[in-house]
A and B are shown apart, each in its own frame.
Chain A
Amino acid sequence: MQRFLDPGVLASISSLDLLAKTVVDGFVAGLHRSPDFGFSQEFAEYRAYTPGDDLRHVDWNLFARTERTYLKRYRGETNSQLTILLDASNSMQYTSGSPSSGPPAKMDYARYIAASLFYLAIRGQRDAAGLIVFDDEVREYIRPSTRPGQLARLFAGLEHAEARARTDFAKPVLHFQNFLHRRGIAILISDFYESPETIVNAVAPLRFHGHEVVLFHVLDPEEIRPTMKGSAVLVDLETDQRIEVVPEYTKTTYRAKIDAHIDDLRDRAHAAGIDYQLLVTNQPLDSVLREYLTLRQAGN
């Protein structure tokens, strides 16, 4: 059985709830561990007792055997906070596939990512999760919470997130800092059609505030390796600007440029302590979920 469903298949699932459950349960089952594991139950380390330490943490069994006083330390039980920043600009509408076949639109793929992460965070980890939808402004904000019904609100927020306008990272990120008071994980999902320097400069302040920041770079396969059959007039979805392009250019110069852009963004993100993940819309979502769990573990 296929563990992670193809994004093209996921596109046929209309309910985000069901979609996220399908993805996450499949992912967790693949880990061969109980879905009820908790980091707060896990042993972390032994430390020698020093005056002033809480005696409740002394490992008395060890003291009985060795007559030495050690403190047994566990991982903290504090829940993490996940905030997803979803780019809802017009460019996210692009897809090289048709409605019945091929990869989904980048916006839909971003919804699948967000929904799966919300499901894993809230149902699996008991983490608080929130959502910010933005383009050149912040369109919707759902405060991170673990309250009952939060998952439904988040899914509803994702459903209502319609791609429009163009992307402007600088302006909404200022608002993020106002919204994100508590340190947590901030995942920015976008196609990042902007200068890598601008993107990193806009996102870096979140990192300074102690957030674990991840950039999920969502691109259609056709955007990485275009396969034009002949010269064509291309229309920018955000600016409506038109340019004629010949196949020879897309096979050579364009590919070099987009590769350079991806590499530059990855390098600058890592330099700023930001994780970067390139997601192509025809790839399964397991790498997304694995990234989240890794971050959460590292954050605790």
Chain B
Amino acid sequence: MGFLAPWFLGGLAALGVPVFVHLLRRHVTTPQPVSSLMFFERGTQSSTRHRRLRYLLLFALRFALVLFIVLAFANPFLRRAAAGANDRLLLIVLDNSFSMRQGTRFADAKQQALSTLAAKSHSQKAQIVALGGQLEVLTQPITDETQLHAALESIQPGDGHASFGELGRDLRALSETARSPADLHLFSDMQRSAMPANFADMVMPPNVKLILHSAAQGTTTPPNWTVESVNAPAELADPKDPKRSRVQAVIAGYNTPAATKSISLVVNGKTLATRKVDVPANGRATVEFAPLDVGYGFSRCQVRIESGNGGADAFPADDASVFAVRRSDPERVLFVHAAGDNRSALYFGAALDSAAHASFVLQSVAAEQATDLDPSKFAFVVISDAMSLPSIFEHALAAYVAKGGNVLITLGTAAAHHQRIPLWGGDAGEPRDYARNGAASSVGVLDFSYPALAQSQPGTDNGGWADVKVFYAVSVDPAHARTAARLADGTPLLLEKQVGEGRILLLTSGFDNLTNDLPLHPVFVAFVDRTARYLSGTEALSGERLVDSFVQLRASTHASTQSAGSVEVIDPDGHRPLSLSEARTAQSLRLERAGFYQIHFVNGRDAVIGVNPDRRESNLEAMTPDLLALWSGSSPGGGVPQSASAADGETGYRLQSFWWWVMLLVLLAAAGESALASGYLGTLREDP
């Protein structure tokens, strides 16, 4: 028996209270004069004896009450023999993240895992789990050694980024349903970058004992250079455009000396250019290739660190970063505006020209002249405050959206005269004329995860939107639509609605610099650029992604049932990762491998996407022994006193806390004391 919180035993000093009350306090009673003790003499002794006998039970109850309360807080436990080794689940977790490709790490780790599996008894259950970009449970808890061995052998090094935090979270969730004790053997390189920001996330549940098997050789971190990031256009219209036709790459070194590295730009297997760059010790250097001379169509590009110079690289697998560039003629964008509004097209076109990553040509027409236009010839359509469209054109637009076209609608002052918003399927609400009240509203809430507003680090100025003043906006019911931005008073500013295969974005203010001053702010260019790429779909067609990111294959399941087409995906190995049924129904695709994915969408568009491993995997620094000891020591519940049955694997015992039984005794003692004490009080109130 022991105590999980022994410092509470200091409360035993409170036992002095009943002792004082019952045994000591009588000595400090104030003397009272009486005429004579003639009738008290012989009665005193008997009365004291009588009192002692009567109060003995009360004293004992009070003493026990204090004692039990202190014991309950000290959380006593019984050390019981733990479940036998055969009763404990053997959980083998093999790290197959990208960093395990370094040297013989993965092979060593797998060999250790196989040895551990072979050492288990025949009756002990085991489970095989692969820790890559996500936790992949390969078997159920079984005793079949052949199946377990096969599952373990089937694990191959992947390109994902392991996270010990995700491991801890998943196991804690698992322990909520399965409380049986388990020994978790983790075979990993214990990469420091796999640690979550919060150490508590990786703490194991109380019933899991963590045993670490490090696959990293030696105690020093091997030197490693890597292409940390590449900034290249996904779409390129003119290779001679100096603003867009260039590739910037950041070369980073981890635990490396200063070195000069040769960096090559390879396009479709052909080295276009090679640059030498001085990379400082443990530092970063930027290299730029310009122009990016690629032919029409998709080009599979990569920036590569040439081997053989500037010192040995311990991890060559991360020396290249791939990306895809699609060269095409500039896509046309149809801008439909109200008859008297030429300003909107001017501002929008200027922003579109300034955008760095896309190539578009804006075709601006008045609403009345749009009758004969075919929207399908445009990358996307903008309707700027044109509330009244020719019916033929509106019908063509609706068909365009249903087939996967995208439309951006802005609402200006014309919305005050026309309730119906074309294509949107709803009416315009009350206009919010902030200028009439002598003030302007500001942008309150922005969803920076929304593609048109995407910013990784918005900053304190609300991503540059803080200074934008909105003088006029139309209140639109956001039902069935995603609200990406709201004004300070809650009025929706940017809405998106899925219609058929296409999308409709609704900006409840205009681009004319009258209803707001957004066109005058730098964030307008970025907003137009992202919106154009988002609506044109070019963002999904080329460029680069990280391993374990997702690509949306279809707009909605509802539409997929009606469209008979299927998606065709070819992974970097030339395989088709989707089955036939999945190709007809899958909403999205998880990019599991590094390399180039080739995708043929339902709407007939093709995409080539370069996928790179998470560059956190390139930092091969391992967790310190202190951290490892803390992690493995945190699992048996030593610091988690609330655990009812903490596993104590080191000694083969488990701790059985029984503080609730002590609390039950507290309750009984309190009830008995109350009853007895109230009985005495009743005697005292009795009048002669």
Contacts and interface: CB of A to CB of B under 8 A. Distances in A.
A201 B602 CA distance: 132
A255 B688 contact: yes
B30 A254 contact: no
Given A244-B29, A255-B688, A236 B51 contact: no
Interface string A96-115: 00000000001000000000
Main secondary structure of the interface of B (DSSP, over half): mixed
B676 to A, nearest CB: 15
Contacts of A257: 39, 43
A239 B50 CA distance: 26
Interface string B24-53: 001001111111111111011011101100
Q: Most chain-A CB neighbours within 10 Å: which of B36, B38, B43, B686?
A: B36
A258 interface: yes
A243 interface: yes
Given A246-B51, A248-B683, A236 B688 contact: no
B684 A253 contact: no
A233 B37 contact: no
A41 to B, nearest CB: 45
B28 to A, nearest CB: 9
Interface string A11-51: 00000000000000000000000000000000000000000
B47 A232 contact: no
B238 to A, nearest CB: 104
Interface string A238-271: 1101111111110101110110010000000000
Given A225-B688, A231-B26, A232-B29, A244 B35 contact: no
A37 B200 CA distance: 110
Contacts of B33: 94, 234-235, 237
B30 A239 contact: no
A233 B35 contact: no
A88 to B, nearest CB: 13
Nearest to A237: B33
B39 A244 contact: no
A248 B50 contact: yes
A246 B53 CA distance: 13
B548 to A, nearest CB: 77
Contacts of B54: 248
A234 B47 contact: no
A244 B26 contact: yes
A220 interface: yes
A49 B684 CA distance: 73
A232 B29 CA distance: 6
Given A223-B35, A237-B35, A253 B29 contact: no
Given A244-B26, A246-B47, A248-B47, A254 B32 contact: no
A258 B29 CA distance: 24
A231 B25 CA distance: 10
A85 to B, nearest CB: 18
Contacts of B32: 232-235
A227 interface: yes
B36 A231 contact: no
Contacts of A237: 33-36
B442 to A, nearest CB: 74
A190 to B, nearest CB: 11
A235 B31 contact: yes
Contacts of A135: none
A247 B684 contact: yes
Contact of B40 (A94, A230, A231, A245): A245
A191 B37 contact: no
B688 A234 contact: no
Nearest to B680: A248
Given A94-B33, A231-B26, A243 B40 contact: yes
Interface string B229-269: 00000000000000000000000000000000000000000
Interface string A179-193: 000000000000101
A229 interface: yes
Interface residue tally of chain A, by bracket? 35 or more
A234 B26 CA distance: 12
Contacts of B38: 193
Contacts of B43: 245, 249, 253-254, 257
A245 B44 contact: yes
A235 B683 contact: no
B51 A239 contact: no
Given A232-B32, A241-B37, A249 B46 contact: yes
Contacts of A258: 39
B48 A246 contact: yes
Contacts of B34: 94, 223, 234-237
A191 B35 contact: yes
Interface residues of B, number: 27
A241 B33 CA distance: 10
Contact of A193 (B26, B36, B50, B51): B36
A220 to B, nearest CB: 7
A281 to B, nearest CB: 11
A75 B533 CA distance: 144
A83 interface: no
A288 B30 CA distance: 37
A91 interface: yes
A255 B39 CA distance: 9
Contacts of B688: 225, 227, 251, 255
B50 A249 contact: yes
Contacts of B48: 244, 246
A295 B36 CA distance: 31
B35 A220 contact: yes
B29 A239 contact: no
A77 B43 CA distance: 54
Contacts of B687: 227
B35 A248 contact: no
Contacts of A106: 35
A119 to B, nearest CB: 28
A237 B50 CA distance: 26
A220 B30 CA distance: 21
B35 A243 contact: no
Interface string A210-234: 0000000000100101010111111
A193 B36 CA distance: 7
A235 B33 CA distance: 5
B40 A254 contact: yes
Contact of B29 (A94, A233, A236, A241): A233
Given A225-B688, A232-B29, A248-B683, A91 B47 contact: no
Contacts of B686: 251
A237 B33 CA distance: 6
Interface string B46-66: 111011001000000000000
B36 A245 contact: no
Contact of B35 (A91, A231, A232): A91
Given A229-B684, A231-B26, A232-B29, A253 B46 contact: yes
Contacts of B50: 246, 248-249
A235 B30 CA distance: 10
Nearest to B686: A251
Q: Most chain-B CB neighbours within 10 Å: which of A193, A231, A244, A255?
A: A244
Given A238-B35, A245-B43, A246-B51, 17 more contacts: A91-B35, A91-B36, A193-B38, A220-B35, A225-B688, A230-B29, A235-B33, A237-B36, A243-B40, A245-B47, A246-B50, A248-B54, A248-B683, A249-B40, A249-B44, A251-B688, A261-B39
29 contacts: A91-B36, A94-B35, A106-B35, A191-B35, A191-B36, A230-B29, A230-B684, A231-B26, A231-B29, A232-B30, A233-B30, A236-B37, A238-B36, A242-B31, A243-B41, A245-B40, A245-B43, A245-B44, A245-B47, A246-B47, A246-B48, A246-B50, A248-B47, A248-B54, A249-B44, A249-B47, A254-B43, A255-B688, A257-B39
Interface of B: 26, 29-41, 43-44, 46-48, 50-51, 54, 683-684, 686-688
Interface of A: 91-92, 94, 106, 191, 193, 220, 223, 225, 227, 229-239, 241-249, 251, 253-255, 257-258, 261
